[in-house]
């Protein structure tokens, strides 16, 4: 069962890479109007790579030598698979709705438009919500407390650091239009938070 759950996790990672690559290429061609990147922001992105990619692979290669391993049942596998499908759908939908307006860091592109359609009509940060789902997926599929939870911890740290800075940057760029958008949407979960 452990091999199967790792293969499912790896397939989701490969799907994520396949979806992210075109957006990365497109973003490199866009000129930046506002750049709010910080050393902390870049470090937290690195922490996400460590937690969401490196730790599960290191665990599978035996780096943790069985420390903090846990049982993996069918229920966790099914829940992980469902969370993973939701993660990939929301991630893809977020990228599609953002189009040219996406950036991996705290940046506003030249000609940037406030996106309020698609999933953005319901939540302001669906990309972060998708990454939180990825962290949950990993926690369910990787039967090790350290490697399984590493991604979720990293994503929560990134979101906690970025959310207010990103909203301030959008408010600076779009003013009252962004305030009105915030008034009618939730941050991560429609109608809840």
The domain made up of 2-184 has a fold known as: 1.20.120
- Residue showing tokens 């599609």: 96
Backbone phi and psi for residue 109, each to the nearest 5 degrees, phi listed first: -85, 155
Domain ranges (residues) in the chain:
2-184
H helices of the chain, where? 2-29, 39-49, 55-60, 74-98, 126-141, 145-174, 176-184
Backbone phi and psi for residue 37, each to the nearest 5 degrees, phi listed first: -65, 145
The per-residue pLDDT for 133 is: 97
For the whole model, what pTM was predicted?
A: 0.90
The per-residue pLDDT for 103 is: 81
The per-residue pLDDT for 101 is: 82
The per-residue pLDDT for 1 is: 74
- Maximum Cα interatomic distance, the chain, rounded to a whole number of Å: 54
Task: Identify which of 170, 136, 182 has the alpha carbon closest to the alpha carbon of residue 156.
Answer: 136
Tens of pLDDT, residue by residue over 155-178, are 999 999 999 999 999 999 999 999
Name, in order, each residue with C-beta under 8 angstroms of 180's C-beta and a sequence gap of 6 or more: none
The pLDDT tens digits along the chain (193 residues) read 788 999 999 999 999 999 998 887 877 777 777 778 889 989 999 999 999 999 999 999 999 999 999 998 999 999 999 999 999 999 999 999 988 888 878 888 888 899 999 999 999 999 999 999 999 999 999 999 999 999 999 999 999 999 999 999 999 999 999 999 999 999 988 878 8
């Amino acid at each position: 069962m452990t091999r199967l759950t790792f293969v499912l996790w790896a397939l989701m990672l490969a799907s994520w890479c396949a979806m992210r690559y075109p957006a990365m290429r497109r973003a490199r061609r866009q000129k930046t109007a506002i750049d709010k990147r910080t050393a902390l922001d870049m470090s937290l992105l690195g922490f996400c790579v460590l937690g969401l990619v490196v730790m599960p692979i290191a665990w599978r290669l035996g780096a943790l030598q069985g420390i903090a391993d846990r049982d993996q049942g069918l229920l966790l596998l099914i829940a992980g698979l469902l969370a993973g499908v939701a993660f990939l759908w929301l991630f893809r939908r977020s990228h599609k709705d953002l189009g040219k307006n996406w950036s991996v860091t705290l940046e506003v592109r030249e000609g940037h438009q406030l996106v309020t359609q698609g999933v953005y009509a319901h939540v302001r940060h669906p990309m972060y919500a998708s990454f939180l789902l990825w962290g949950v997926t990993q926690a369910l599929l990787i039967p090790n407390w350290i490697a399984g939870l590493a991604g979720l911890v990293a994503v929560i740290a990134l979101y906690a650091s970025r959310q207010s800075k990103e909203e301030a940057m959008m408010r600076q760029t779009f003013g009252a239009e962004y305030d009105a958008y915030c008034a009618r949407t939730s941050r991560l979960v429609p109608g809840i938070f």
